Amino acid sequence: MVKVNQIKFFCIFLFVFLCTQQVQAQFGEDNDHLFAGGLVIGANYTQVDGDNFAGYHRVGLNAGAALFINIGHPVSLSMELLYAQKGARAGLSQLPKLMNDQSGVITDYKIRLNYAEIPLLINYFDQKKNNFGAGFSGAYLGSSKETFRDGNGAIFESEAKLFPFKKYDINFVLNGGAHIYKGLMINLRMQYSLLSIRNASNYLTGRQQQYNNIVSTRLMYIF
């Protein structure tokens, strides 16, 4: 199911990319152009606040397409369609860790979340085509998996079904980009869930309210 969802997501990306070719322009070089399209690929460094483990130990893919709308230099609106892998992973220095009820220890812990995500941002471009942006993103959860291993070596994989993650996630987004060459940019992004991503969590491994916390580094090419 995960692979099927990934194929569907990337087909959508390709469709958006092909559509944006009809309005392509080197954004920032010709301010008369209303639209510009781009491709994005990079990495998410993620944690879930509320799972009893801290640190951006989970690394996932962040990839997709972007569309910029010039609303008057130096300001533009942007919309992206992304495949975003999020979640959490316990750091080696944090293990083993007592369960919340102290009935045993956790020796490994992972959350895997796969989203289709649409960020909407307002961006400011300087004369060197560096940019800063802020906005919000909406994400749809395609698949989820939560696993942990106890001190006896038993692996539990059912918690994401017993305590499901919400299908939708809304994030606040801050974004910064540095121009490298022509349409190529390097991008740093931070985002955080505005609402809890689940209604209840396993009482052994975390608290009820949990939030996606993501730092992303990406390459973007604007056509």
Please state the pTM of the whole predicted model: 0.85
Between 198 and 162, residue with greater pLDDT: 198
pLDDT interval class at 204 (50, 70, 90): confident
Whole-number pLDDT of residue 15: 52
Q: Please, which pLDDT band fits residue 189 given cuts at 50, 70 and 90?
A: very high
User: What digits encode the pLDDT tens for the residues 114-123?
Assistant: 999 999 999 9
Class of domain 2-222: mainly beta
**CB-based contacts of 205, cutoff 8 Å, min separation 6:** 51, 52, 99, 100, 106, 109, 148, 159
Q: Could you tell me if 169 and 191 are in contact, meaning their C-beta atoms sit under 8 angstroms apart?
A: no
What is the C-alpha R_g of the chain?
Answer: 19
Which pLDDT score, from 0 to 100, does residue 98 have? 87
* Closest-CA residue to 160 (of 177, 148, 173): 148
Q: Is the pLDDT of residue 26 over 70?
A: no
Mean local confidence (pLDDT), 1-29? 51
| pLDDT over 90 (residue 23) | no
Model pLDDT, residue 27: 53
| pLDDT (0 to 100) of residue 8 | 58
Per residue in 86-115, pLDDT (tens digit) is 999 998 888 888 888 888 899 999 999 999
**What pLDDT sits at residue 157?**
78
Q: Helix, strand, or coil here: 114? A: strand
Nearest Cα neighbor of 57 from 106, 100, 92 is: 92
d(CA 157, CA 171) in angstroms, rounded, equals: 27
pLDDT at 187: 96
Domain boundaries along the sequence of the chain: 2-222
The model's pLDDT over 151-165, given as tens digits with 9 standing for 90+, comes to 888 888 755 667 889
pLDDT interval class at 31 (50, 70, 90): low
